[in-house]
Chains A and B, each alone.
Chain A
């Protein structure tokens, strides 16, 4: 509203001068724009550099874990050592001294080795798992007894590391775990073509072990699977139901406000606190089994619930209100409106939130330490109540072990864990793309 009495101010700027001013300013504005672009690009480049650095370090450290040095030995399976009475009773077969047979086969190759200490050094080049492998072969096929056959045995972790080049023969003998004699024996085995580097199936099929060459991640992977299964079964329905109730049905009053604030706060609680809660409630109060995926899953469900609820509510908020109005205007009840229209439209967002929550749970270590999932467990768990560990805890355990061969296994386990995480995130992206609705 301009008062009619005061005239509108006349232009005070000369047109030519104005265009000069604009031109001068333009240069500055474009410079600022270029500068900003440069900052952005350099930030992205630095970030990419570190990602590449991270991945290349982990992969270069971890890929040797996927191979294992093996040795071919001709073993004669003397009946007198295995089953002197010829009963072929599985129990007798199982208790026989296969270690001796493996050693005999090895000593055959090196007849000049006489002293006890040398013999011990020589036999320590073969993994203690070799005897188990031999026992399994005989138990599977007792007709092998009294025959001479070539077997492929895992070599010990130190020999494996030396053969892969992680231990240098140039360092002083006292500093390395492989002595000069062992190196000479190994070279002779190599000369005869008996040593080979194979794909390390044990790493993917075995449980944990104190011997690095026998340690595998399958036990931890199955533990992770059971744990996440429990987490998903608990947190997804509860999370979605809470999100739907809070967003669509709950009255907007002080109580729901307090609940909302608390859910947001819970999302920021350090995860180890949830572990303490699980320890106090699930283990000490309810007496649930220690180290079990059941309890781990429950603790992780508590931890991921806020994430799922918050993502679910955001997805529900993103559904345009016009859809709700349309359904309500048609005479749909509130639950029909939600289940027929709102929920299907919000589902991609909810699933994305749930999968990201699951990925977070998969990588979580701290709360599981509190409920005993950090125990050394050799057996692959068969159910959600068996003692188990999970992949990130396995990484933690191996990273803590002194043996050199565990270094590469730690990185190998990290590669597997990252592989799972990438797969889950890719699944989230694909789901979102697939169910994306266009209005």
Chain B
């Protein structure tokens, strides 16, 4: 891990050096939707066991960037990706990588809570079931319970595991989606504006949860709320017009940004 960091020391000078070991290393990532280029040669390191937030005005490519990290962009026909993304030194766009296997390692939580229209239990057990992680019913029960506990939802739903997941409130649904994602024990969790459809109390709960989860998982979150980025993340990356403008420790980016565009965005002069 450290050797890799040294080998890319020139880049490490440009990007400010992350303190923790790097989990995801993105190099020269460009993304095209048909003839439109959405990302222009982005280099970014996402450190392990930290929350990295991606901020920027609408249409800046931050969601596109996030969806490249577990190859969700492949579901869009016109999308082309160039560049390298290394997950623990493994190029995830390599031909030998199975996308199903990758997504078991890199989970995702979406903007709108999207539980399956099935029971709460079935929602959480779905991932372990398709990946064959539980040998029997009691193991599955254990996975479901611990996932719901870690998502802070167990106390609220333990008496109605068989009722539909779509019957929960918005905030509960989003925590159910987080429980569903962590049930397969991914190494990285990608969150695409997970709180934009939630009220402040539900948002506070999710933010609290992220703080807990970062001890076990590497988290990358796209957010429109700069306060949220400041509250939950250790690292912040600012995107503008498909380019990575600035990346650094959250405190530094918000207090002493190096780039004027970052400063203008943070102080609300555009975006």
Contacts and interface: CB of A to CB of B under 8 A. Distances in A.
A345 B117 CA distance: 9
B110 interface: yes
A322 B100 contact: no
A330 interface: yes
B54 interface: no
Interface string B175-199: 0010011001000000000000000
Given A332-B100, A341-B116, A325 B75 contact: yes
A333 B126 CA distance: 13
Contacts of A324: 75
A256 to B, nearest CB: 11
B61 interface: no
Interface residues of A, number: 22
A43 interface: no
Contacts of B177: 326
B75 A330 contact: no
A329 B166 contact: no
A327 interface: yes
A261 to B, nearest CB: 19
Contacts of B100: 331-333
Contact of B131 (A320, A329, A331, A340): A331
A322 B117 contact: no
Contact of A331 (B75, B77, B117, B127): B127
Dominant secondary structure at the A interface = helix
Contact of B184 (A322, A331, A340): A331
Nearest to A341: B116
A167 to B, nearest CB: 64
B225 interface: no
Contact of A439 (B101, B110, B166): B166
A64 B201 CA distance: 72
B62 interface: no
A328 interface: yes
Interface in B50-73: 70, 72
Interface string A27-60: 0000000000000000000000000000000000
A34 to B, nearest CB: 42
B114 interface: yes
Interface in B79-109: 100-104, 107-108
A322 B110 contact: yes
Nearest to A439: B166
A270 interface: no
B116 A251 contact: no
A170 interface: no
A352 to B, nearest CB: 18
B117 A336 contact: no
Contacts of B116: 323, 326-327, 341
Contacts of B108: 329
Contact of B103 (A328, A345, A437, A438): A328
Interface string A138-156: 0000000000000000000
A251 B70 CA distance: 21
A252 B79 CA distance: 13
A254 to B, nearest CB: 13
A330 B72 contact: no
Interface in B113-127: 114-117, 126-127
Contacts of B117: 323, 345, 437-439
B264 to A, nearest CB: 19
Nearest to A326: B114
Contacts of A252: 77
Contacts of A336: 130
- Determine which residue in A320, A325, A326, A345 has the highest number of CB atoms from chain B within 10 A of its CB, and name it: A326
A287 B148 CA distance: 64
B181 A330 contact: yes
Contacts of A438: 117, 166
Interface string A400-421: 0000000000000000000000
B170 to A, nearest CB: 12
A328 B72 contact: yes
A331 B110 contact: no
B72 A322 contact: no
Contacts of A341: 116
A44 B164 CA distance: 40
Contacts of A329: 70, 72, 103, 107-108, 110, 181
B75 A323 contact: no
Contacts of A323: 114, 116-117
Contacts of A322: 110, 112, 114
22 contacts: A252-B77, A320-B114, A322-B112, A325-B110, A326-B110, A326-B116, A326-B177, A326-B180, A327-B116, A328-B72, A329-B107, A329-B108, A330-B130, A331-B101, A331-B102, A331-B103, A331-B130, A331-B131, A340-B126, A340-B130, A345-B117, A438-B117
Interface of A: 251-252, 320, 322-333, 336, 340-341, 345, 437-439
Interface of B: 70, 72, 75, 77, 100-104, 107-108, 110, 112, 114-117, 126-127, 130-131, 166, 177, 180-181, 184
Given A326-B116, A340-B126, 8 more contacts: A322-B114, A326-B114, A327-B126, A330-B127, A330-B181, A331-B127, A331-B184, A332-B100
